[in-house]
Structure 1
Amino acid sequence: MKMAGMQMLLYLFCLGSVQAGKLLVIPVDGSHWTGMKPLVEELGRRGNQVVVVIPEESLSMGPSEHTTTLTYPVPYTKAQLQELVLPYMDDFLSIDTSIDVGGLLFSFITVEILKTFTVRNAESLLYNKELMKTLKDWDFDAILTDPFEPLGAIVGEFFNISSIYMQVNHPCGAHFLASQCPSPVSYIPHRYSQYSNRMSFFRRTVNMVRALLQPLACRRLFSHADEIASRFLQRETSMLEIMSHAAIWFLRFDFAFEFPRPVMPNMVMIGGFSVPKPKPLPQVSF
């Protein structure tokens, strides 16, 4: 892990720190932002200077407490997001793609729709020269982003600041590919396969084939993003290369609900961190 990333974490998460940090936050819409928002607001409440950058049109994002919110125009409306993205995402998360060929095709269509919106969103901010200059002049210590969309990772690379990724799950497993995390396919089922860790020989074979195809899926998913990143950073690069530079990964998984698997030293599971604190049980007398 980069030393700058370690120092930034100390600035952000130590109670009573007299030296606050400057944090840029580029979130992702929907449940991704719902899970990140409590952390962002808490960091602002503790005295850190937190700047959240969001598109003018979104499903769930807006101003948050103890932070500065900046917006940028995008070439789509909230109605278009509700009409095109929400129905596909609901079905995508519930469909079994392990046995249904139609499900695989549906997943492909969903990824293409998501790719269209994420690319438009990325170009809208990256080529907003006035806003990008404002962010550059802010001289942030680090960026907190969700790599489900490529925008935050590209901005962090451009500003050359420590990138802190907060990841729920990536459609092509980019978090494990980018970090070169070991993944023994005989024991770890693919997330969308709905297999258990006790697979038959046939299912192990299918799981291995899916694992071999995973880098191709990432290449397809990031095809436009790789081009945008290379053009904007003025060098040949890819999203997997950029994401491999992460200072730390906060994985919103709960180890109790995951199959045992090796993770890299800069990966931390934080499942359940956004759950409200439980209230004390009432005293009952018999």
Structure 2
Amino acid sequence: MARFSYLSLTAIVMLTYLGLPTYAFRFLILGGDGSGSHYYAATAIGKELAYRGNDVTVLVSDMYADSVSNRDDSDVFNFLIYKSLVTEEQYQNLITKIVESGLLGDMASMIKVSTLAETLTHKQCKSIFVDSTIIDLLHQEKFDLIIGDAWYICVGLVAQLLDTPFALLTPTAVSMSMQSQISVCPTNPAYIPDLVSGLDSKLSFFGRVSNTLILSLNSFANRRLLHRYDQLKVDLNIKPEMSTYEALSEAELFFVNTNFVFDFPRPLMPHVVPVGGLTTKPSLPLKKVNIGD
């Protein structure tokens, strides 16, 4: 695959954001199905690129075909809508179970919900590739760069299919599991707590042991998750000789929606860029309320 060098990609981003005279680049945004916090974080980058004269296309599921046209960004983006194999009822059922699992807090319900989420996400990814009309349109667009959510594993497969360089956005702080693995960030469980561990940076001996076990379990779970996409790559003949892990690791840039103030000290590789506050907006004035009402 012909890949951009890091310097070439940096030049594109700098020219785009500095507003210097240049031709419009073509970007594809993959932020999930078309709704939720991950979608809004990814499209926040897309909006800025579009406002600076670039052509930005967002790929969304037909579950949100009606809602995307009514949003405030409907005149900013081009939308490509694929036919989803996941029904809206299945998706709403998943949201309900996630809320119930959060309230119960027991491990069994969390594992059950995670398994269901993995199944539906995998099925949603497959939806893109079995929609021949969308695949043809994606090939015709000749995108310069794909920007996708790091939790949306399908990004790596789409990028390989289109033979297009891509960047990943992590909507949360860098976790020692998925994101740190694919971005090849040096990690040390002796002093960097995993995002889901609930531990602080002052780790005792038992805290370090616990953190190491959590990291190991997360790594195993992530490898198991990615393996499902390995089989999908083989079935669709999308560079089957490469694993999904290797595909995601080819990302040219990693944008992390965090700030050093809110994260634990950790080493970052040169292509990992903190971009905290993507979805923050200026505060609105409070409405006046008459106490007597």
With the shorter chain as reference, the TM-score category is 0.7 to 0.9
| Residue 33 (structure 1) aligns with | 39
Structure 1 segment 14-25 matched on structure 2, within 5 A: 14-25=18-29
Identity across the alignment (%)? 23
Q: For structure 1, which segment, 189-198 or 236-245, has the greater mean C-alpha deviation from structure 2 after superposition?
A: 236-245
| Residue 81 (structure 2) aligns with | 71
Specify whether residues 4 and 130 from structure 1 end up closer, same or farther in structure 2 by C-alpha distance, changes over 3 A only: farther
| Residue 57 (structure 1) aligns with | 63
| Residue 198 (structure 2) aligns with | 194
The number of aligned residues is 273
Counterparts of 1:95 and 1:187 in 2: how far apart (Å)?
30
Offset of residue 224 of structure 1 = 1.5
Counterparts of 2:175 and 2:109 in 1: how far apart (Å)?
13
Q: For structure 1, which segment, 151-160 or 11-20, has the greater mean C-alpha deviation from structure 2 after superposition?
A: 11-20
Structure 1 segment 108-127 matched on structure 2, within 5 A: 108-127=111-130
Give, as a single letter, the amino acid of the residue that structure 1 aligns with 2:226: F
Structure 1 segment 1-286 matched on structure 2, within 5 A: 2-28=6-32, 29-58=35-64, 62-63=68-69, 64=73, 65-83=75-93, 85-90=94-99, 102-103=106-107, 105-169=108-172, 173-232=177-236, 233-277=238-282
Offset of residue 181 of structure 1 = 1.0
Does the Cα contact within 8 Å between 1:50 and 1:68 map onto a contact in 2? yes
Q: For structure 1, which segment, 207-216 or 136-145, has the greater mean C-alpha deviation from structure 2 after superposition?
A: 207-216
Specify whether residues 231 and 3 from structure 1 end up closer, same or farther in structure 2 by C-alpha distance, changes over 3 A only: farther
Does the Cα contact within 8 Å between 1:172 and 1:217 map onto a contact in 2? no
Q: TM-score, normalised by structure 2?
A: 0.84
Offset of residue 11 of structure 1 = 4.3
Offset of residue 208 of structure 1 = 1.0
Specify whether residues 48 and 271 from structure 1 end up closer, same or farther in structure 2 by C-alpha distance, changes over 3 A only: same
Q: For structure 1, which segment, 241-250 or 228-237, has the greater mean C-alpha deviation from structure 2 after superposition?
A: 228-237
Q: For structure 1, which segment, 234-243 or 249-258, has the greater mean C-alpha deviation from structure 2 after superposition?
A: 234-243
Offset of residue 121 of structure 1 = 1.0
* CA deviations over 1:223-262 (Å, ceiling 9, x no partner): 3212112333142322221111111000011211111111
Offset of residue 273 of structure 1 = 2.7
Counterparts of 2:201 and 2:47 in 1: how far apart (Å)?
38
Q: TM-score, normalised by structure 1?
A: 0.86
Counterparts of 1:125 and 1:157 in 2: how far apart (Å)?
14
Specify whether residues 24 and 117 from structure 1 end up closer, same or farther in structure 2 by C-alpha distance, changes over 3 A only: same
Specify whether residues 95 and 260 from structure 1 end up closer, same or farther in structure 2 by C-alpha distance, changes over 3 A only: farther
Counterparts of 1:268 and 1:90 in 2: how far apart (Å)?
32
Counterparts of 1:265 and 1:60 in 2: how far apart (Å)?
40
Specify whether residues 78 and 172 from structure 1 end up closer, same or farther in structure 2 by C-alpha distance, changes over 3 A only: farther
Give, as a single letter, the amino acid of the residue that structure 1 aligns with 2:128: L
Offset of residue 197 of structure 1 = 1.0
Give, as a single letter, the amino acid of the residue that structure 2 aligns with 1:89: I
